[in-house]
Chains A and B, each alone.
Chain A
């Protein structure tokens, strides 16, 4: 009886309303605040070459989100040199990441910039630093 109650509750926890098709990201019906970062980094990965240095920022800047984004950058951009804009919910000094060749900006919009806009998605933008 107890097991049946728990199994029913477990089945009730499934987001059936979303249909059985593949969700856009692994976080679509779970920890949703991570969804844009995941989607943007997944889409950015083919545009960022191996060995390039990358920083993942939030727009607006937020040390908590950027701590997560640094970790997600390491996970989803293997082979690149991911630099932290924040760790443990605290910003790092800008010189830690200012030299990054690529900037992945979660929730970022295309804006006039000296840098090259590499990718725009609903989840944000990716920029490549122009030689100065």
Chain B
């Protein structure tokens, strides 16, 4: 049952294959391309399902596939993905990179065993993520009547649709929702990152391998301690880590990489509300650091933010047209801050992070960054985005009129899970004036 439920999700690389088979992506190892194709395929499939819901078309496996695969093929014909000459050989593996792979394997094993031994299950899977996916599968669409029923407000109708869309798709294939399958997405996505990140980051294998191992280990430990198996936090960090890894590359000026990162941004923004501030912060910092001329900045902006704008436009068009929602809402009117809670929020935040192995998943990447010396310019993309996420979370917590400490306690560690991941990825960025790195020529 679990395997049947997971099968459509494991087949997502087929949807994204037309994109990742383009010659411009041959710079990535096969494993990284497979995972990137899966991520792009998932974002496109969810987008098509949202469009179907908007158009009042019933979901079916065949119809969704018939929509998503041609869309991926059409996208692959865009000029950004134009054929490119092959690049030079990748940096060879080293004992250090092999050791890093071994460490990543240990982290993946921890996530897998913790999930199978019922030590990482997310209550929110049963509180709303799984419930919605199960109901949407039965309704063959986003069930507006169900979301509008009295007392169903806790299902968060405005939450972005990717996790519930894909969960519904898997349930339609399997005939029912699989709670075990949903939980298994945690170790599977950690494993996918362990496979993909070293190749996506590129550069020297020992450095990219070490950064990847640190990121993957941080996800595993925070994910276990904060009980994320089955909720939206792992898919979110999956999209975010891959997109950030693309943009940290030396050849991130390549339009193909930016367009692919844009697709992954759309995946992040349609996975959880926090995905949007991540996308906006990353794109703004990338523009500030990497795209100086004005005309270039416009094109880069379109590539990075276009897919997110389209995906969220479809989602909000659905919400507004059904009278379901017209904004992201939380615990108070937007920008009405209760600054008197600031000391309490900071204290609760520190306590929550300390609850994840004494805060080590958050402290170790910071220590590594300090130990590495003055951060190279490129790494500020990841460091700045991590800082923006912390600021956003504080901003969100300060909206609560009542004492927000309980909210901070049960949410902070998992919501901040991308922060140590971003800091770890920052370590992969090449050092200015430091040791030489293999220069990867831009194919365009």
- Pair A29/B119 contact, Cβ less than 8 Å: yes
Contacts between chains A and B (CB distance < 8 A), count: 138
Bound complex: CA A8 to CA B113 (Å): 13
The chain A residue with its CB closest to the CB of B152 is: A74
B221 near A6 with CB under 8 A, answer: yes
A residues less than 8 Å from B111 (CB atoms): 10
Q: Which of B117, B177, B180, B183 contacts A14 (CB 8 A)?
A: B117
In contact, A76 and B117 (Cβ under 8 angstroms): no
Known: A2-B214, A14-B110, A30-B118. A75 touches B134 (CB 8 A): yes
Q: Give B116-146 as 1s and 0s: 1 = Cβ < 8 Å from A's Cβ atoms.
A: 1111110100111011001100100000000
- CB of B118 within 8 A of CB of A4, answer no
A91 at the interface (CB under 8 A from B): no
Residues of B174-213 at the interface with A, using a CB-CB cut-off of 8 Å, are: 177, 179-180, 183, 210, 213
CB distance from B95 to the nearest CB of A (A): 14
Residues of A within 8 A of B177 (CB): 78
CB within 8 Å of A: which of B65-113?
100, 103-104, 106-107, 109-111, 113
A5:B220 contact, CB within 8 angstroms: no
Chain B contributes a number of interface residues (CB within 8 A of A) equal to: 52
Of B35-43, B322-330, B364-372, the segment with at least 4 beta carbons within 8 Å of chain A is B364-372
How distant is the Cα of A74 from the Cα of B109 in the complex, in angstroms?
A: 32
Check B107 against A6 for contact (C-beta < 8 Å): yes
B225 at the binding interface (Cβ < 8 Å): yes
In the complex, which residue of chain A has the Cβ closest to the Cβ of B365?
A2
Q: In the complex, how many angstroms separate the beta carbon of B168 from the nearest chain A beta carbon?
A: 12
Interface 0/1 of A65-86, CB less than 8 Å to B? 0001011101110110000100
A99: CB under 8 A from chain B?
A: no
Q: List A contacts of B224 (CB < 8 A).
A: 10, 13-14
Minimum C-beta distance from B352 to chain A (A) = 15
A87 to B152 alpha-carbon distance, docked (Å): 9
Interface residues of A in 24-39 (CB under 8 A from B): 24-31, 34, 38
Min distance, Cβ B125 to any Cβ of chain A, angstroms: 8
Which chain B residues numbered 342 to 373 have a C-beta less than 8 Å away from chain A? 357, 360-361, 364-365, 367-368
**Given A10-B224, A75-B134 in contact, is the A15-B117 Cβ separation under 8 Å?**
yes
Taken together as a complex, chains A and B put the C-alpha atoms of A99 and B366 apart, in Å, by 57
How far apart are A87's CB and chain B's nearest CB, in angstroms?
A: 5
Chain B residues near A5: list those with CB within 8 A: 360, 364
Most interface-central of A24, A31, A84 (chain B CB within 10 A): A31
Whether A14 pairs with B214 at a CB distance below 8 angstroms is: no
Give the shortest distance, in Å, between A31 (CB) and chain B (any CB): 5
By a CB distance below 8 angstroms, the chain A residues around B361 are: 6, 9
Partner among A3, A27, A78, A87 whose Cβ is within 8 Å of the Cβ of B217: A3
Known: A14-B119, A30-B119. A7 touches B154 (CB 8 A): no
A68 surroundings in chain B (CB, below 8 A): 123, 127
Q: How far is the CA of A70 from the CA of B135 in the complex (A)?
A: 15
Whether B110 contacts A18 by the Cβ 8 Å rule is: no
Question: Pick the contact of B135 from A10, A29, A78 — CB < 8 Å?
Answer: A78
Is B294 on the interface with A (CB-CB < 8 A)?
no
A26, B118: Cβ atoms closer than 8 Å: yes
| A9-B357, A11-B106 known; A74-B131 Cβ under 8 A | yes
Q: List 23 A-B contacts (CB under 8 A).
A: A2-B364, A3-B214, A4-B213, A6-B357, A7-B110, A9-B357, A10-B106, A10-B220, A13-B110, A13-B119, A13-B221, A14-B113, A14-B224, A26-B121, A28-B117, A28-B118, A30-B119, A31-B121, A72-B127, A75-B126, A78-B177, A84-B151, A96-B151
A-side interface residues toward B, CB under 8 Å?
2-11, 13-16, 18, 20, 22-31, 34, 38, 68, 70-72, 74-76, 78-79, 84, 87-88, 92, 96
Binding site for A on B (CB under 8 A): 100, 103-104, 106-107, 109-111, 113-114, 116-121, 123, 126-128, 130-131, 134-135, 138, 151-154, 177, 179-180, 183, 210, 213-214, 216-218, 220-221, 224-225, 227, 357, 360-361, 364-365, 367-368, 424
What are the 8 closest A-B residue pairs judged by CB atoms, nearest first?
A6-B217, A10-B110, A3-B213, A23-B118, A26-B121, A29-B119, A10-B221, A3-B214
